[in-house]
């Protein structure tokens, strides 16, 4: 293909730019509950997310990447003109990156999944033809944007009610917290480890069977639970703190759990949302390298690496703004409330990553926080903030499509 090296270079640059936007904006969804509940500081959140976002993108990012790359448009429509697919994917990356730059600069928490899906649909429908879009696949993705917050909300509701009944609502909540929190830590470690072993390790050349994965995940959960229990036992609990707030020491115990769930959420986010950046990049590299539009092909590890690096750089540069915005405005969070929301969201996201469904982390986490809020009572939610977040979701998809259409025609004109 003409200009092959230039096109791949642009794809890498635009993919890195888009991944930077994912890190700058969407990582807030991964870390906001931890920061908002004051379980971790902004600096600690950035460090945790840098490590576990990278690990999630590298180990478990391939399944969703395949969907973003080849599952949304009809490859046969581009068989005679593969360069149009290349121009379109370049346009989608550039358009999404620009919108995320604008949103992150202003501290707006928007959905990066909305942005890239809107961009791909925009260039394909207007630039090529409405029938070039796999509308049934788009319908499944859109449906997941409804299902994921509902599922996360139900899970967080159940988790928080269990916390209320097993710990907070008992006569001796501190003793109950010390007894049961290691169990919650085990559950967190087991779920994330299981999904990683079943779906993630094959991207780094390792294969494990189902029973092996369950056994290893169980072992990982036990190890993490033991570490958490030791950490809890070493806490210097202040009996006078409970005079100011009856559950102050209980929340300190849950603070240890929040460190674990923060890592899980960062891993889950990296595994799902790296696809928003490297899916189109993978498509460009595949078409330019082969000179033809091919079906599903393995996602090269170096492409996942570009996405992982971009996410971490975006987090380190602009991430603090959006983390601070999201972490304190939806509802008042404590470590016990933040735990329920974060674990529910992480579980939903890693399951979606395992099935290849690119859900919106924004939707998922907001749904989880709403579930906790409903368990506490509707009055505990700031409905104005929630309404504004919903509006940002509605705006992102058409803005992504509009930017992508303009970029598509500009790139097409430049290379024609």
Query: What pLDDT, in 10s, does the model give residues 49-58?
Result: 778 877 877 7
Q: What is the DSSP string of 317-336?
A: HHHHHHHHHHHHHSB---HH
Q: What percent of the chain has pLDDT over 70?
A: 83
Cβ-Cβ contacts under 8 Å for 36 (sequence gap 6 or more):
326, 327, 328, 330, 333, 338
pLDDT score recorded for residue 231: 85
**Given the structure tokens 């791909």, which residue do they identify?**
120
Confidence band (pLDDT; 50, 70, 90) for 345? confident
Helix axes 112-122, 4-21, angle to 10 degrees: 150
Q: Which comes out higher in pLDDT, residue 81 or 411? A: 411
Predicted confidence (pLDDT) at residue 131 exceeds the cutoff of 70:
yes
d(CA 73, CA 137): 9
126: Cα separation from own chain's centroid: 29
Confidence band (pLDDT; 50, 70, 90) for 282? confident
Predicted confidence (pLDDT) at residue 205 exceeds the cutoff of 60:
no
Task: Tell me the two tokens of residue 170.
Answer: 């008992």
- pTM, full prediction: 0.77
pLDDT single digits (tens) 223-249: 999 998 888 888 877 776 666 566 778
pLDDT score recorded for residue 200: 53
Predicted confidence (pLDDT) at residue 356 exceeds the cutoff of 60:
yes
Residues 335-342: what's their mean pLDDT? 82
pLDDT score recorded for residue 288: 86
Residue 412 C-beta-side C-alpha neighbours within 13 Å = 18
In degrees rounded to 5, what are phi and psi of residue 274? -60, -30
Give the DSSP letter of residue 300. P
- First-to-last alpha carbon distance for the chain, in angstroms, is 13
Task: Tell me the two tokens of residue 282.
Answer: 């993978």
pLDDT score recorded for residue 408: 93
d(CA 29, CA 321): 12
Residues 197-222: what's their mean pLDDT? 74
Confidence band (pLDDT; 50, 70, 90) for 370? confident
Residue 359 C-beta-side C-alpha neighbours within 13 Å = 32
pLDDT score recorded for residue 158: 92
Q: Highest mean pLDDT: which of 109-118, 315-324, 399-408?
A: 399-408
């Amino acid at each position: 293909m003409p200009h092959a090296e230039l096109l791949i270079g642009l794809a890498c640059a635009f993919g890195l730019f888009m991944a930077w936007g994912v890190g700058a904006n969407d990582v807030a969804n991964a870390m906001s509950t931890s920061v908002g509940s004051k379980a971790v500081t902004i600096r600690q959140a950035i460090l945790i997310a840098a490590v576990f976002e990278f690990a999630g993108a590298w180990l478990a990012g391939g399944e969703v990447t395949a969907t973003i790359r080849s599952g949304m448009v009809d490859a046969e429509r581009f068989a005679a003109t593969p360069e149009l697919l290349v121009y379109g994917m370049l346009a989608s990356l550039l358009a999404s990156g620009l919108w995320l730059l604008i949103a992150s600069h202003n501290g707006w928490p928007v959905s990066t999944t909305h942005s890239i899906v809107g961009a791909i649909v925009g260039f394909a429908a207007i630039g090529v033809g409405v029938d070039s879009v796999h509308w049934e696949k788009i319908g499944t993705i859109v449906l997941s944007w409804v299902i994921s917050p509902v599922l996360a909300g139900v899970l967080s509701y159940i988790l928080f009610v269990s916390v209320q009944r097993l710990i907070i609502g008992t006569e001796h909540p501190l003793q109950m917290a010390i007894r049961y929190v290691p169990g919650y830590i085990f559950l967190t470690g087991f779920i994330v480890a299981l999904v990683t072993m079943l779906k993630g390790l094959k991207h780094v050349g390792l294969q494990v069977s189902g029973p092996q994965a369950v056994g290893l995940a169980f072992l990982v959960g036990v190890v993490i639970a033991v570490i958490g229990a030791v950490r809890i036992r070493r806490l210097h609990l202040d009996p006078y703190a409970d005079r100011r707030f009856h559950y102050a020491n209980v929340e300190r115990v849950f603070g240890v759990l929040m460190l674990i769930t923060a890592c899980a959420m960062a891993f889950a986010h990296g595994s799902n949302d790296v696809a928003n950046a490297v899916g189109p990049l993978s498509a460009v590299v595949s078409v330019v390298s082969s000179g033809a539009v091919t079906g599903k092909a393995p996602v090269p590890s170096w492409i996942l690496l570009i996405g992982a690096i971009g996410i971490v750089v975006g987090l380190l540069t602009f991430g603090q703004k959006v983390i601070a915005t999201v972490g304190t405005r939806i509802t008042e969070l404590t470590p016990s409330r933040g735990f329920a929301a974060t674990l529910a969201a992480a579980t939903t996201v890693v399951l979606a990553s395992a099935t290849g469904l690119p859900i919106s982390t924004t939707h998922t986490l907001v749904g989880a926080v709403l579930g906790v809020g409903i368990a506490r009572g509707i009055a505990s939610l700031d409905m104005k903030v929630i309404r504004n977040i919903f509006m940002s979701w509605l705006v992102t998809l058409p803005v992504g499509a509009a930017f992508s259409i303009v970029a598509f025609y500009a790139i097409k004109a430049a290379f024609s």
